[in-house]
Amino acid sequence: MAQQPIDWKAIEEKWRRRWEEARLFEADPDPNRKKCFVTFPYPYMNGPLHIGHGFTATRVDIYARFMRMRGYNTLFPWAWHWTGEPIVGASLRIKMGDKDLIRALKEIDKVPDEELEKFIDPVYMARYYTRESREAVKRIGFSVDWRREFHTTIYEPTYSRFIEWQYMTLRDLGYVTRGTHPVVWCPSCQSPTGDHDRLEGEGVFPEEYTLIKFIFEDGYLPAATFRPETIFGVTNMFINPDATYVEALVDGEKWIISKSAAFKLSEQLKKVRVLREFKGRELIGKYFKEPINGRELPILPGWFVDPESATGVVYSVPAHAPADWIALKDLMDKPEILSEFGIPPEVVREIKPISLISVEGFGEYPAIEVIEQLNVKDQFDPKLEEATSIVYRKEFHTGVLKPICGKYAGKTVRDVKAQIIEDFKRANIADSMYDLPQRVVCRCTTRCIVKILEDQWFLKYSDPEWKRLAHEAVDAAKIFPESARVYFHDKIDWLRDWACARKTGLGTPLPWSPDWIVETLSDSTIYMAFYTIVKHIRRYDIKPEQLVREVFDYIFLGKGDHDNVSRLSGIPPNILREMREEFLYWYPVDLRVSAKELVPNHLSFFIFQHVALFPRELWPRAIGVNGVLTIEGQKMSKSKGNFLTLRDVVDRFGADVVRLTLALAAEEMDDPDWREENARSVDARLRSLYAFINQVSGMSGEDSIKSIDRWLLSMLQSRIRAVTEAIENLKTRTAAEIALYEVWNDIRWYLRRRESPNPKILREVANVWVRLLAPFTPFLCEELWSMLGNEGFVSMAEWPKYDESKVDVRAEEVEEFIRGVIDDTWSIIRVTRASPKTIYYYVSAGWKWKAFIKLLEMSSVKKVDMREAMRTLMEDNELRSVAKDLAQFVSRLIEEVNTLPAERRRALLKAGIIDELGDLREAADFLKKEFSCEVIVYREDDPDRYDPRGKARQARPYRPAIYIE
RNA sequence: GCGGGGAUAGCCAAGCCAGGUCAAAGGCGCAGGCUUCAGGAGCCUGUCCCGUAGGGGUUCGCGGGUUCAAAUCCCGCUCCCCGCACCA
């Protein structure tokens, strides 16, 4: 199998053109054929397709091509996702001259200058990438029906009509609700700041604080806390003397809070009117009242109080909050600070921590104990945070409230916390506000706050009934790999309501509230249904305004009759019927594949929305989940500079090489790793494959059938079966591995064993082989298929069928036997470091075979022991005559026979007594070549044998005795 | 923290669900040989350790256990990766 220069590009172009001319992958309903509808989640067009897209989509295409060859009417459509913020964002950044982005687009995406300048129009940008990506998809050879291509957003008005229908229907079904929701918000951009839009604060989300409204003069000091239960242990207040505070009317009450808190609250549905501004020191030394028992407590200076955090008002519980204790201790140690504020030292000295939670393993004052344990020095010690977290966790999970807590006494903190908050709020002792636990800075450099968005539209994924249906859909579907099923169930339970509309970005406006746009993950859930009718929309030039609700109701839900709907829409009734029929023909989706990162969002939404909108028989049939691609072991990213676009990779290596390399990289949920080294190796293999098939196609020679010929065909059957089963289960790596390497190794062994290969057999094998590989390397296989003299496309050829009649267990056992003999012989040669002149083999005597088979039979019923075995064997006259040797023979074999796996035992029994002498003599020439010496074969009981060391009697079935000179 | 996936010989990676054919597929790399008008091609052999006869020893993250028998089952531990929401 020598290599030849092959022009991949020429082959690929040739067949791509022919496929297109033949409209090979355009699939239309055919009631006489079973259908298969596979989909790949449409990619987002803010950049070129990368090799990670290529990986997942290749798996889809392998499956599609496989099913097509198995006779299924197979549809693999493709579309483009334009919905969302990033395209607009990128476009804006280009407009503003963002150097990093522009360089990335030039260098990685290879966008020419004259195109780049037009990217200030986001739609132009999306169109550009769509055009580029379409080319890449064609080049890599995905078997797509392009008549059904579309993109999303209002720029594809008929798609928008579809989305409108979807959301009106969902709303009527009660799955869309209205509500409020806290988001991280940039006051400058006036929009939510997602994780990827931040300079600082990745992974930071709003947290809800309880505000305890301590009474102060004619108003309140609302102190923020996560631990409202500790109010029973409050001893004082801390205010930052240098921070700016305000007196403000908040929903009609007078509140004293930090200046920034006032602003934040105004974004959280509170009516805020600032009355006056002042420094915190004004409050220091004054007294406030706690609202439970009305105790009067002092306000002390605390510079650790961050006015940017929550209200900037902090109450102090030194028994249970390490920070509070440390702050108090500081003040006790530094009376001069107190005097600066005119506070007598005894005010602080007399403060006693009040214990309100009992915790196993701690005494009265857990905070103080932990501070001592960790040796926290002062308020600025980083260990303080750890101390706080230890106390908090311990008290939350195991703490029990003490009698001082009144009606909550005796309960654990965990159980009663929510109740306390509710009670306090009802009693107007508490309120709440959201804030960010850490600084978050928007890309525009503005510090973010939490805003509560009103009138937000939600998909009610929290609905238990909806969840139940989603679970049922997961149970009913095939999930590849099976282990991902639990992942889906888990994520369905975990999903909360999803804000399904946004104010900015591209998309489709909500039909009943057009200032909102359907959010990107929410407009991409059932669009596979649109593939089934977009063909008609194009062909019959159906206008968006014709696509009234009733049209979709009719097509997708079977509501109404076509005459009526025709009147409403102006679409002829026969076309409506055709669309309905086409939808019903293709639906449900037979397979959808994506990377595992989409399980918690896209794939789960896909399931949810299908169960909401469609009857059970139209729910997805199978979902495949795969890993996330890395490049040479590294996560792919544009900033790291290891971003590989699909187009570049296909340009460099050719479509088939890329496809096969990707297929061989991983399956199930393992992460594939793209390695150039692997691609080069695959390239070499394919060149050799070409050379081999080329050679076989013109080969002539004798065509007698020997055992080795039957062996090759027999092996091929098990390869066919294994590849078929693997692809059925989307185990594309296993399938590719067997189809390429295992078959290759079989053929190699065959060529080695057969001095003059049988051309007919090889051509038969080649015809199967090329078809097994066709889903993986379709271009090359088309070429090889025609090289082998076949008419038509291999893409449409019948998938090889497992042929029982070609299975030859005996031939397989014979090869096992020969291979074993070779291995044993090599082993001896290596150990003795001899260079053999003559090798003598002695095959087992007839009685050994007889006993061996008998033992196999006995052990397939149940485990045999020595005594029982001998008793049965001795019933045979011939065996009895060699009783002494028999006993030795059986004792050596019995363990082995007993532990043989059932399958193997069956194979051995099926093969029966093989003609060791004949087979070995037939292989003698081959063995001579292998060992470059003479080979002589005897039967162990041949009276004329040459056996100077008495080796012959060691012979066992399948393991002849060996003597080497 | 919650959830999911992992840990196998130099590397990648099968096997584990259904315990014995497992010193453990396949690929890559490496070494030796062959082939070739010596291009990153092909073929053969080797690649845990020991062994002058086909054998033996020790391995499948760590520690226990079940079993005649465990990479595979059970318990505990350590470490790695990924997701965690208004975002594609």
- Say how far A887 CA is from B22 C1', in Å: 29
How deeply is A367 buried, as exposed, middle or buried, from its count of CB atoms within 10 A (0-12, 13-18, 19+)?
buried
Nucleotide nearest to A963 (CA to C1'): B53
Quickly list DSSP for A562-612.
Answer: HHHHHHHH---HHHHHHHHHHHHHHPSPSEEEEEGGGIIIIIHHHHHHHHH
| Confidence band of A576 (pLDDT split at 50, 70, 90) | very high
- Say how far A654 CA is from B77 C1', in Å: 48
| Confidence band of A4 (pLDDT split at 50, 70, 90) | low
Q: What integer is the mean pLDDT of A384-412? A: 85
Task: Identify which of A63, A21, A33 has the alpha carbon closest to the alpha carbon of residue A726.
Answer: A63
- Say how far A618 CA is from B34 C1', in Å: 61
Task: Identify which of A546, A536, A547, A513 has the alpha carbon closest to the alpha carbon of residue A585.
Answer: A536
Q: Determine the Cα–Cα distance for residues A449 and A308; give it in Å rounded to an integer.
A: 10
Pairing mode, strands A630-631 and A634-635? antiparallel
Residue nearest to nucleotide B52 (CA to C1'): A832
| Confidence band of A902 (pLDDT split at 50, 70, 90) | confident
Q: Return the H-helix or E-strand segment holding A176.
A: strand A176-186
HSE (CB half, 13 Å, CA atoms) of A27?
30
Least confident of A266-275, A792-801, A853-862, A870-879: A853-862
Q: What integer is the mean pLDDT of A290-295? A: 93
How do residues A467-500 score in pLDDT, each as one tens digit? Answer: 999 999 999 999 998 888 888 998 999 898 999 9
How many Å from the N-terminal Cα to the C-terminal Cα in chain A?
35
Q: Residue A323 contacts by C-beta under 8 Å, 6 or more apart in sequence? A: A304, A379, A384, A388
- Is nucleic acid strand B under 7 Å from A454's C-beta? no
Please report the pLDDT score of residue A5 as a whole number.
Answer: 66
- Is nucleic acid strand B under 7 Å from A813's C-beta? no
Q: What is the DSSP letter of A44?
A: B
**Do A279 and A243 touch, CB atoms closer than 8 A?**
yes
- Say how far A734 CA is from B49 C1', in Å: 32
Please report the pLDDT score of residue A313 as a whole number.
Answer: 96
List beta partners, residue A434: A208
Backbone angles phi, psi at A556, to 5 degrees: -90, -30
Q: What integer is the mean pLDDT of A581-598? A: 95
- Is nucleic acid strand B under 7 Å from A832's C-beta? yes
- Say how far A746 CA is from B52 C1', in Å: 34
**Do A317 and A234 touch, CB atoms closer than 8 A?**
yes
Where does residue A338 fall: left (phi above 0), alpha (psi -120 to 50 degrees), or beta otherwise? Answer: alpha
Nucleotide nearest to A831 (CA to C1'): B52
Q: What integer is the mean pLDDT of A790-798? A: 97
**Do A438 and A312 touch, CB atoms closer than 8 A?**
no
Q: Determine the Cα–Cα distance for residues A267 and A260; give it in Å rounded to an integer.
A: 11
- Say how far A718 CA is from B29 C1', in Å: 30
List beta partners, residue A216: A219
List beta partners, residue A625: A594
Is the pTM value of this prediction over 0.90?
Answer: no
- Is nucleic acid strand B under 7 Å from A752's C-beta? yes
Task: Identify which of A208, A302, A204 has the alpha carbon closest to the alpha carbon of residue A264.
Answer: A208
Q: List strand B contacts in A 2-41 (CB < 7 A).
A: 2-3, 5
Q: What is the DSSP letter of A671?
A: P
CA distances from A923 to A519, A616, A841, A918, A920 (A): 71, 62, 12, 9, 5
Nucleotide nearest to A83 (CA to C1'): B88
Nucleotide nearest to A522 (CA to C1'): B86
- Is nucleic acid strand B under 7 Å from A502's C-beta? yes
Nucleotide nearest to A680 (CA to C1'): B40
**Do A765 and A806 touch, CB atoms closer than 8 A?**
no
For chain A, percent helix, then strand, then coil, each to nearest 5? 50, 15, 35
Task: Identify which of A36, A39, A78, A427 has the alpha carbon closest to the alpha carbon of residue A231.
Answer: A427
Nucleotide nearest to A3 (CA to C1'): B41
CA distances from A733 to A214, A611, A911 (A): 66, 32, 32
C-alpha dihedral (A470, A473, A477, A481), degrees to nearest 10: 20
Q: What integer is the mean pLDDT of A200-208? A: 82
Q: What integer is the mean pLDDT of A434-449? A: 86
Please report the pLDDT score of residue A876 as a whole number.
Answer: 92
- Is nucleic acid strand B under 7 Å from A871's C-beta? no
> Which positions of strand B lie within 7 Å of protein CB atoms?
3-6, 12-15, 17, 20-21, 25-29, 39-46, 51-55, 81-88
- Is nucleic acid strand B under 7 Å from A521's C-beta? yes
- Say how far A3 CA is from B84 C1', in Å: 51
H-helix segments, A477-547: 484-494, 528-539
Q: How far is CA A661 from the centre of its chain?
A: 19
pLDDT for A848 beyond 70: yes
pLDDT for A731 beyond 70: yes
List beta partners, residue A207: A435
Compare A877 and A196 and report the one with higher pLDDT: A877
- Is nucleic acid strand B under 7 Å from A499's C-beta? yes
How do residues A53-66 score in pLDDT, each as one tens digit? Answer: 999 999 999 999 99
Residue nearest to nucleotide B53 (CA to C1'): A828
Residue nearest to nucleotide B6 (CA to C1'): A670
Q: List strand B contacts in A 645-704 (CB < 7 A).
A: 666-671, 673, 677-678, 680-681, 684-685, 687-688
Count CB-CB contacts under 10 A for residue A322. Answer: 28
Residue nearest to nucleotide B84 (CA to C1'): A600
- Say how far A805 CA is from B35 C1', in Å: 38
Q: List strand B contacts in A 36-95 (CB < 7 A).
A: 44, 46, 81, 83-86
Task: Identify which of A137, A133, A130, A136 has the alpha carbon closest to the alpha carbon of residue A151.
Answer: A130
Nucleotide nearest to A459 (CA to C1'): B86
pLDDT for A763 beyond 50: yes
Nucleotide nearest to A668 (CA to C1'): B5
- Say how far A70 CA is from B69 C1', in Å: 43
Question: Is the ipTM beyond the 0.90 threshold?
Answer: yes
Q: What integer is the mean pLDDT of A792-814? A: 94
Whose tokens are 């009040």? That residue is A354
**Do A643 and A688 touch, CB atoms closer than 8 A?**
no
Please report the pLDDT score of residue A614 as a whole number.
Answer: 97
Quickly list DSSP for A369-416.
Answer: HHHHHHT--STT-THHHHHHHHHHHHHHHH-EE-GGGGGGTTSBHHHH
Q: What integer is the mean pLDDT of A837-849? A: 93
Q: What integer is the mean pLDDT of A777-797? A: 96
- Is nucleic acid strand B under 7 Å from A929's C-beta? no
Nearest-10 crossing angle of helices A676-697, A655-665: 120
- Is nucleic acid strand B under 7 Å from A600's C-beta? yes
Q: What integer is the mean pLDDT of A682-686? A: 92
- Is nucleic acid strand B under 7 Å from A190's C-beta? no
Q: What integer is the mean pLDDT of A305-330? A: 92
Nucleotide nearest to A825 (CA to C1'): B54
Backbone angles phi, psi at A522, to 5 degrees: -95, -10
- Is nucleic acid strand B under 7 Å from A961's C-beta? yes
- Say how far A910 CA is from B66 C1', in Å: 35
- Is nucleic acid strand B under 7 Å from A319's C-beta? no
Please report the pLDDT score of residue A545 as a whole number.
Answer: 96
Q: Determine the Cα–Cα distance for residues A354 and A499; give it in Å rounded to an integer.
A: 44
Please report the pLDDT score of residue A2 as a whole number.
Answer: 46
- Say how far A666 CA is from B62 C1', in Å: 28
Triad A798, A803, A806: Cα angle to 5° = 130
